Amino acid sequence: MENAARVYEPKNRKLLISAGLSWLFDAMDVGMISFIVAALAVDWNLGAQQIGLITAINSVGMAAGAAVAGTMADRYGRRSVLLWTLLLFSAASGLSAFASSFFVLCVLRFAAGFGLGGELPVASTLVSESVPIKDRGRVVVLLESFWAGGWILSALIAYFVIPEYGWRTAFMIGAVPALYAIYLRTAIEDSPRFTTLQNTRLTFVERITTVWSAKYRLSTVTLWIMWFTVVFSYYGMFLWLPSVMMMKGFSLVKSFQYVLIITLAQLPGYFTAAYLIEKAGRKFVLVVYLLLTAASAIWFGNAETEGALIAAGICLSFFNLGAWGGMYAYTPELYPTAIRSTGVGLASSFGRIGGVLGPFIVGLLIAKGVSVTAVFMMFFITNVVGALAVLVFGKETKGTDPDAE
C-alpha cells in the first residue's frame, strides 16, 4: 500500500497520466495501421508485399526518430523533444487521410513513424528519472500500459469507424493528439536529474562513445539484442493480426472484432508485470514473459478453431506486452543521466530495425505461400533468443542508481 501511495502522489500521478496519454495516442496511431492496411488491401488492391512495405516504412521512421530524438533529448531536454515529436506524428497522421497514392502514403507514414519513434524512448526516460528509485520500474510499466489503451482505442475505431466511414476518417482521428500537445506544454517539466546537468552535458560524440565504452558495452549489446527480438516479433505478429485472421477464413469485420478481444488482454499483461517487476526483479519478468510469448506464438500458429485462436491470441497479447513494459522499465536503468536518453534511443532505434524487418518478412513469406504455422515458428525462435540474452548477459537493476556507480 505504501508503494502504491508513492506512485499515486499528485506529482507522480500527473506526470504518469500526462506522459501516458501521449503514449496512448502513439499506440492508437500504430494500432490503426494494422487495421487500415487490411482495408487498404481491398480499397487499393494491394498485395501482401505492399502491405508489408507500408507497415515496415512506419518502423523505418521510428528507427530514425528514436536515434535522433534520443540523442537530442540528452542535449535539449526531455520535455521539449517530447512535445515536438508528438506534434510531428500528429500532423503526419492527419495528412495521411488525404494521401492520393501509395507512394505519398508511405512518405507520410515515415514522417509519422519518425515522431512516434522519437517520443517513446524520451517519455520513458523522463518518467524513469522523475520518480523515486523504489517505484520507477512499476511507474514505467504503468506508463507502458497506456499503450494497451491506445491499441484498444484503435481497435474500437477500426470496428466502428473504418467499415462505416472509411480508412481516411481513421487517419484524421490520428491528428487529434496535436491539440493535446498544447496542454502538455504546460503540464510537464524536465526531470530534476537532467536539469542538474546544465553545465556538464556531454557532446554527441562523447555520449555515443560512453554508451559503447567498456563499462556499458555488455549492457548495450544485451539491450540491442532484446529490443530487436521483441520489436521484430511484436510488429511482425500484431500488425499482421487482422490480415492473418482473414487468411484463417474470417471476414474483415469479424477479424477486427476478434483482434479487439485479443487486445484487451494487453492490460492485465502490463499490470501483472508492473506488480512483479518490483517484487521479483527486471530479469525475472523479462525472461519469463518472453518465454511465454514464444510458447503463445507456437500455439497461435497452430490454432484452427475460433476458440483456440482467441485463447492463443489473448496469451500472446498478455505476455508480449508485459515484456514490453519490463523492457521500457529496464532500459533507462542501465545508463547514467548524462547518456540515458542516448542509450535508450539507440537501443530503441536498433530494435525498430526489427520492426521494419518483421512485418516485411511476413509479407514476403506469405506471398511465397509459407504457412502461418511456419511464420509463427520464426517468432517463437526470436523470443527465445531475446530471453536467453537477458538471462545470460543481463544485469539486474532493481533498486540500483547508475548515477551513483
Kindly state whether residue 405 falls inside one of the protein's structural domains. Answer: no
Q: Judge whether 231 and 293 are in contact, CB under 8 Å.
A: no
Q: How many CB atoms lie within 10 A of CB 357?
A: 19
pLDDT digits (tens, 9 = 90+) for 350-391: 998 998 888 788 888 988 888 888 999 999 999 999 999 999
Per-residue burial over 289-325, b = 16 or more CB atoms within 10 Å of its CB, e = otherwise = bbbbbbbbbbbbbebeeeeebbbbbbbbbbbbbbbbb
Closest CA to 123 of 235, 20, 14: 20
Say how many domains are in the chain.
Answer: 1
Kindly state whether residue 14 falls inside one of the protein's structural domains. Answer: yes
- How far apart, in Å, are the Cα atoms of 85 and each of 19, 23, 110, 189? 13, 11, 13, 16
pLDDT at position 9: 67
Kindly state whether residue 46 falls inside one of the protein's structural domains. Answer: yes
Compute and round to an integer the Cα radius of gyration of the chain: 20
CA atoms within a 13 Å half-sphere pointing along the CA-CB vector of 29:
39
Cα–Cα distance, 335 to 63 (Å, whole number): 20
Q: Which domain holds residue 173?
A: 2-182+202-399
User: Could you tell me the three cell numbers for 381?
Assistant: 525462435
pLDDT digits (tens, 9 = 90+) for 265-289: 888 999 999 999 999 999 999 999 9
Low-confidence ranges of the chain (pLDDT < 50): 1-5, 7-8
What is the distance of C-alpha 195 from the center of its chain?
27
CA atoms within a 13 Å half-sphere pointing along the CA-CB vector of 294:
17
User: Could you tell me the three cell numbers for 221?
Assistant: 549489446
User: Could you tell me the three cell numbers for 199?
Assistant: 553545465
Kindly state whether residue 404 falls inside one of the protein's structural domains. Answer: no
- Whole-model pTM? 0.85
pLDDT at position 254: 64
Work out the end-to-end distance of the chain between its first and last CA atoms, rounded to an integer number of angstroms.
Answer: 30
pLDDT at position 1: 41
Kindly state whether residue 197 falls inside one of the protein's structural domains. Answer: no
pLDDT at position 76: 87
Kindly state whether residue 129 falls inside one of the protein's structural domains. Answer: yes
Give the domain CATH number at 357: 1.20.1250.20
Kindly state whether residue 168 falls inside one of the protein's structural domains. Answer: yes
Kindly state whether residue 149 falls inside one of the protein's structural domains. Answer: yes
